[in-house]
Copies of this chain bind each other. A is one copy, B any other.
Amino acid sequence: MRQASLTDVAELAGVSHMTVSRVINGTGPVRPETRARVQAAIQELDYRPNSAARTLATGKSETLGVVALDSTLYGPASMLYGIEHAAREAGYAITISSVSRPQRQSISDAVEVLRRQAVEGILVIAPHVAAGRALEFTPRDVPLVAVGAAESAPVPVVTVDQHDGARRATEHLLALGHRTVWHIAGPEDWLEARAREQSWRETLEAHGIEAPTVLRGDWSPRSGYEAGRALIAGGDVTAVFVANDQMALGMLRAFTEAGVTVPHDVHVVGFDDVPEAAYFSPPLTTVRQDFIEVGRQAFELLLLRLRDEAEGVRRLITPELVVRESTGPR
């Protein structure tokens, strides 16, 4: 048998369908005994409101869309969960549409897919250059909030303060007495990677130090490993700021294999503070980003945006330097 509808319930309870609707939504007055009869009928028929019909009638879907990254990178995945959690608590459903590769077109497509789903607003987790560009071309009539680092985007945005984090990491190393600090950057098309690199460079320059050549990885441990080998080959490295923890792990591995000891020979700082970082060999000094909080605030900001109160808002979340043995005493 098919799903029961409002009318079925109304018939069984001997009332009009509107009365049932009132009972369900708590709108308008209903006599207690009528309410009881209706509720009994609902129980008996295992009635469940049809959200498509409700959406059609009200124009509200109580659903938000999230454009996520098709990856299991710790950051993006955590932000997704932060968003989902906050949204669910507020009674919103979440529809996701992920993109495999962060290209302008794919992000626009994902947004388009979500718009057809009649979502009320969209959160874009896409800390790429391409994402920023895609957002520029997004119609202004969709309530949209960027999560991550799309700084230049013409939409409200929530992001961790990458500059601050990278500055702290670099200054921490400088304070330990190093003459310079090397940097392993993330992929060039990630805004976060760019921001960290830029801030690292500026911090060095502020101390009158010329930044050494940047090595670039792709966030993966493997690329960190390779960068580590390259550094060893170059010689004369005593301090490295790596753009994420995974690459830092790869680098630690490369150092270990080559007999370079951390923290004795080299100091290393990562970025993210993944749950594993405290158990690397040695435990990694890193910059903690509270992704869950980012997700939560992004959701909040989207709610504001839905009420048109988020014009030009940009929320910065301050990261935190967590000092561990990888920059410990030698």
Contacts and interface: CB of A to CB of B under 8 A. Distances in A.
Contacts of A118: 50-52
Interface in A59-116: 61, 63, 70-72, 74, 77-78, 81, 84-85, 88, 93-98, 100, 113, 115-116
A195 B301 CA distance: 44
A48 interface: yes
Contacts of A115: 48
Interface size class of A (residues with CB under 8 A): 35 or more
A169 interface: no
A153 interface: no
A249 B225 contact: no
Contacts of A225: 279
A326 interface: no
B85 A81 contact: no
A281 B326 CA distance: 14
B52 A276 contact: no
Interface stretch (A209-217, A231-239, A250-258): A250-258
A138 interface: no
Given A70-B85, A84-B70, A118-B50, A279 B221 contact: yes
Interface in A232-279: 246, 249-250, 252-253, 256, 275-276, 278-279
A48 B276 CA distance: 45
A17 to B, nearest CB: 16
A43 interface: no
5 contacts: A52-B55, A84-B96, A93-B95, A221-B278, A246-B275
